[in-house]
Amino acid sequence: MATRKSSKSQTFEKQMEDLQTIVNNLEQGNVPLEESINQFKDGMKLVNSLQKQLSGAEKTLAKVIDEQGQEKEIAQDDQTSFGKFNGSKDTTDANMSDLF
């Protein structure tokens, strides 16, 4: 597998694509053991990076701008449902990581 750029310099979508490639390679089982271990390590780094990005996005989405233009946290009681995700999960009751 080609050497990757730091996950911090790649877009979220590119990191997801790279992770999917790694998963596909490992699922096929036709990669030598040492390369499988290296790909697994790379995949775990990507997972950690993606989780951090999702957590940051979740925190950003959990803020609103008040009338004076100041950011404030949304109280749990103030959150509204923005519809269902994956057909059954209410976005107010799920963490971002649970949605994917």
Considering the domain boundaries, does residue 93 fall inside one? no
The pLDDT value given to residue 5: 55
Considering the domain boundaries, does residue 72 fall inside one? no
Query: Cβ distance 64 to 71 under 8 Å?
Result: yes
The pLDDT value given to residue 89: 40
Q: Count CA within 13 A, CB hemisphere, residue 54.
A: 16
Considering the domain boundaries, does residue 25 fall inside one? yes
Domain holding 35, by residue range, is 10-58
Q: Averaged over 23-48, what is the pLDDT?
A: 96
Band (62; pLDDT cuts 50, 70, 90): confident
Answer whether residue 65 shows pLDDT above 80. Answer: no
Q: Alpha-carbon distance 26 to 78, whole Å?
A: 43
Q: Averaged over 50-74, what is the pLDDT?
A: 81
Considering the domain boundaries, does residue 29 fall inside one? yes
Considering the domain boundaries, does residue 46 fall inside one? yes
Considering the domain boundaries, does residue 75 fall inside one? no
Q: Averaged over 36-57, what is the pLDDT?
A: 96
Query: Cβ distance 19 to 10 under 8 Å?
Result: no
Phi and psi dihedrals of 18, rounded to 5?
Answer: -65, -40
Q: Averaged over 56-61, what is the pLDDT?
A: 85
Name beta bridge partners: 71.
Answer: 65
Mean pLDDT of the chain: 75
Considering the domain boundaries, does residue 95 fall inside one? no
Q: What is the number of domains present in the chain?
A: 1
